[in-house]
């Protein structure tokens, strides 16, 4: 593919080049998919720092296993499956549990650092939010962290803006209908919990 702009090549073309040994072609694949991979990792581990680590590991693993990619599915879908497995392994790792347990920034050990995500989200909040809405947003963000993992994963992956339901279905290893049900159920559970806090369930 000499003479062809990297940006004009499809993902499959870049994969073929990378399989032939062109590392720069793989670098272009990294650039194209970095946001989708990072946000998928973030939805699982909840921490931007760990998501960055998982993202790097996912790309390295994908490069090593590039020979096994046959092009039957989209490269991004295949890459996201690798990313999700890496993220799950990280979430279950003992070292992560130890790190969270001894973290001086917490008053008590946390299973998922979704309070970090809450701090990230509050920095990006718009100016037009009223005090009441800010409290509602804080409660919603906190309650998202309390959702069962299966529901939370589906809800957050669907909210990244980078993944289709088909890709989410491949990542989670669940049927498409199940993924949609989980998203719907997550929202229903959140609304029920918000109603218990006094917010009107409309």
Partner 1 sequence: MNDTSRTRWPGGGDSRLDHAIDKAVRDLMSVDPPPGLRRRVMSRLDAGASRRGFGLLQYGLMASACAVLILAVVLMMPSKTGPARTGTTESTQTAKAPTATAPVSDSTTKELRPKETASGRGRSARVTRERIPMPRVANVFGARTADVSATAEPRTEAVWPVLVVPENPPAAIAPLVIAPLETPALVVAPIVVAAPPKGGL
Note the residues at the interface with partner 1 (CB under 8 A).
23, 26-27, 30-31, 34-35, 38-39, 42-43, 48, 51-53, 55-57, 59-61, 63, 93-95, 98, 117-118, 120-121, 124-125, 133, 136-137, 140-141, 144, 155-156, 158-165, 180-181, 183-185, 187-188, 190-191, 194, 199-202
> In the complex with partner 1, which residue's Cβ is closer, 30 or 88?
30
Q: How far is the CB of 174 from partner 1 (least distance, A)?
A: 14
With respect to partner 1, which residue has the nearer C-beta, 71 or 129? 129
Considering the complex, what minimum distance in angstroms separates the CB of residue 1 from partner 1?
19
CA distance 181 to 159: 15
Minimum gap (Å) between residue 163 Cβ and partner 1: 6
Dihedral angle, C-alpha 31, 151, 186, 114, nearest 10 °: -60
Give CA angle at 39 (167, 128), nearest 5°. Answer: 120
The residue among 22, 24, 28 whose CA lies nearest residue 10 is 28
- In the complex, the smallest distance separating the C-beta of residue 182 from partner 1, rounded to whole angstroms, is 9
């Amino acid at each position: 593919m000499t003479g062809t702009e990297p940006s004009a090549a499809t993902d499959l073309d870049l994969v073929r080049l990378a399989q032939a040994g062109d590392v720069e072609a793989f670098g272009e694949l990294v650039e194209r998919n970095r946001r989708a991979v990072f946000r998928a990792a973030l939805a699982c581990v909840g921490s931007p720092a760990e998501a960055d680590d998982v993202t790097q590991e996912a790309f390295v693993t994908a490069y090593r296993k590039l020979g096994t990619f046959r092009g039957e599915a989209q490269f991004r879908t295949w890459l996201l499956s690798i990313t999700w497995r890496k993220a799950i392994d990280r979430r279950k790792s003992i070292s992560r549990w130890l790190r969270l347990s001894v973290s001086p920034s917490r008053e008590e050990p946390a299973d998922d650092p979704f309070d970090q995500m809450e701090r990230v989200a509050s920095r990006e909040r718009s100016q037009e939010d009223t005090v009441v809405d800010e409290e509602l947003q804080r409660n919603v963000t906190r309650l998202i962290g309390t959702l069962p993992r299966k529901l939370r994963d589906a809800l957050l992956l669907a909210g990244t803006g980078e993944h289709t339901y088909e890709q989410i279905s491949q990542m989670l290893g669940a049927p498409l209908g199940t993924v949609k049900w989980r998203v719907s159920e997550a929202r229903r559970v959140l609304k029920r919990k918000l109603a218990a806090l006094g917010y009107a369930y409309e």
